[in-house]
A and B are shown apart, each in its own frame.
Chain A
Amino acid sequence: MSKKSLKFLRNEVIEEATASRIRQFEAKAGVTVGFPIPIDKIVEHIWGLDFDWDEIEEGPGEQILGGLHVANRKIYLNSKHIALFEANPGLERSMIGHEAGHLSARHRSTWQRQSSRITQICTRPAMPRVKLPKAANEFKAGQKRLFEFP
């Protein structure tokens, strides 16, 4: 994905979109959402994404926590790092939220244009190690990073 195709989103826009998704979940599930936000349930029920815990191949010194497969509507989480996720539940939630965010209105068209290529890469038998797109590098948490299939 080229850097040019991503639009900058103001915090207010992101927060408004997030609040809207939470309200949709509350209406659908008939519950009042509190902290910690049940992001996994919101993502499954409102975004229609599924979760797939699997081992994602990493290069030397690389740490891939998970990724988004748009065409399959799946968020992959790297089961190699379960201990890290268990120790930092916030890390798992923020990663899921980040990946789901790509399917929000402002990013959707960009990701849909990429979906055929994403499918082609991800239908290989083993999860390929691919070069991280520049755009995805914008999100970093220390040395840990999120990963999108290019």
Chain B
Amino acid sequence: MTFGEKIRQLRKAKELSQRDLASKVKVNFTYISKIENEKLDFGDYPSEELILKLARVLDADADDLLILAEKIPESLKKRVMERPDVFRKLASLDNESLDKLLENLDNDKP
């Protein structure tokens, strides 16, 4: 699912019109339309601040929305900077290894 599709899905679930949502996050409604229809030009992509506002209004997970918008959440950025060795190692793993690792981590949870 793309960022635009997700925003449309969340907006409809809240029974908001494009205009309703636009007024809540203080942007023009045509901008919401452009987001939903994936018609943003380079440089028009929503800022992290706007994505966080959208997440609040739509009761969505901010990190999920940021990742869908191809932005790295601040909390992740911070951890990458703190432990680059770990993330470098993780990045080198294939999906199967990552799935096994996640499974092991979940099994280790108290």
- Which residues on A are within 8 Å of B, measured CB to CB? 29, 38, 40-41, 44-45, 50-54, 74, 79, 82
Contacts and interface: CB of A to CB of B under 8 A. Distances in A.
B34 A40 contact: no
Interface residues of B, number: 13
B8 interface: yes
Given A50-B8, A52-B37, A54-B39, A82 B17 contact: no
A15 B93 CA distance: 61
A51 B8 CA distance: 10
Interface in B3-40: 8, 12, 15, 17-19, 29-30, 33-34, 36-37, 39
Contact of A41 (B15, B29, B34): B15
Given A50-B36, A79-B30, 6 more contacts: A41-B15, A44-B12, A50-B8, A53-B34, A54-B33, A74-B37
Interface of B: 8, 12, 15, 17-19, 29-30, 33-34, 36-37, 39
B30 A40 contact: no
